[in-house]
Structure 1
């Protein structure tokens, strides 16, 4: 198994991503899948990091905070090479979508083309702690619906990558998104991820066109109860935390 710092996402995998399709799906539903983004070896290498606390700045036990059951760890800087690459190579493709959404919703914020420039903005505002994380669930664990905000500066899209094999490593534990439109009941969506699949989704709000123009839809995400086994996920959040 390769060391994570020696790994890089193969260019042909990024080149195979249909960014136009991804943008259309994000506009339409607030989420878009990228099948097979990581290999099984890359997934296993990330999972293996979880027991080595030298890679992380903190550990959160969800039950202590009312977040659900299970736990997660935030990576420390410098990030492992693969995590850093996911952050820096995806951001430039997502920034134009984020800017389009801001304009549609009448939000003044605009996002620079380069992720390092965006992190400079976060750090200048006191958001200096890295937010990429690994999550671990066992039987009976779940993650309540939530939003990963962390401070004044919030990049409106984030990514989750399933590292475990459904039906082999675990059962249950579906990734769930909800959408709350004004004067309507909440709509849930289950995203059918396999090992190595990524989903990009709205962190907080997304624009939706209605009869009277554009309005903001509130999005949340979580994980249903794991019925058996162990489930691991990597989360790539593009803003840092206070």
Structure 2
């Protein structure tokens, strides 16, 4: 089953409901173990990447990640292109609920045209690697004035087998209260879809922006690898 067929068979109404209510949704076993291993092995091919970031140098955490260059590997480009239209429909319902005067285009290439107009030309898809003690501080992946409000991460290694600790952490700012923490442990091959910066949350007065950030808790042992698929490009 190719990525187009696989994406079309997903239960998008359930995914949308989870994103609306929680700001995230998990798609189990989107990639096979063999596909994950192949993606993880791409980390060792320097010709595929435009930039390597050592996280501790920038106080981002402890670990390393690499941004792919264009053209992306076919399997990644295909998934990114096929999943985007479903997410853009969800994103547009969010904009409408929040009375934000923004509508996202139906196709990924149209979003990239908007990015190019704003000098956002650099791909943002990346692979991240953490060893023992590695972590990622809470952040948002915006990269410029044009940004898409949903993104995904695919786990390339298995918790409790390849590594311990290293949970995926989301925080949500609750009005007039402390932030709420959400801790997730997706399995190898699972795709986690989550908000880039906020989700619409309902109150007695309507919807408001619930600001969210994401990060990774400290890896206690082993090696944790993941691939992040971000749909907008970065400022040049």
Q: TM-score, normalised by structure 2?
A: 0.97
Alignment match, 1:53? 46
Alignment match, 2:233? 240
Deviation (angstroms), 1:14 = 2.3
Deviation (angstroms), 1:55 = 0.3
Q: Could you list the runs of 5+ residues in structure 1 that have no partner in the other structure?
A: 1-6
Deviation (angstroms), 1:10 = 6.8
More deviation, 127-136/177-186: 177-186
Separation of aligned partners in 1, 2:9 and 2:178: 37
Pair 1:212 & 2:212 matched? no
Alignment match, 2:3? 9
Separation of aligned partners in 2, 1:10 and 1:127: 27
In 2, are the aligned partners of 1:86 and 1:236 still within 8 Å (CA)? no
Shift >3 Å, 4+ stretches = none
RMSD: 1.2
In 1, are the aligned partners of 2:4 and 2:82 still within 8 Å (CA)? no
How many residues align? The count is 235
In 1, are the aligned partners of 2:61 and 2:136 still within 8 Å (CA)? yes
Deviation (angstroms), 1:77 = 0.2
Deviation (angstroms), 1:15 = 3.5
Pair 1:69 & 2:56 matched? no
In 1, are the aligned partners of 2:154 and 2:192 still within 8 Å (CA)? yes
Pair 1:228 & 2:197 matched? no
Separation of aligned partners in 2, 1:94 and 1:10: 14
Alignment match, 2:82? 89
Pair 1:111 & 2:104 matched? yes
Deviation (angstroms), 1:69 = 0.3
In structure 2, the CA distance between the partners of 1:10 and 1:121, relative to structure 1 (3 Å rule), is: closer
Deviation (angstroms), 1:16 = 3.2
Alignment match, 1:78? 71
Deviation (angstroms), 1:51 = 1.3
In 1, are the aligned partners of 2:124 and 2:229 still within 8 Å (CA)? yes
Query: CA-to-partner distance for each residue in 1:121-162, whole Å, 9 max, x for gaps?
Result: 111110000000000000000000100000000100000000
Alignment match, 1:41? 34
Alignment match, 1:4? none
Separation of aligned partners in 1, 2:231 and 2:138: 19
In 2, are the aligned partners of 1:8 and 1:82 still within 8 Å (CA)? no
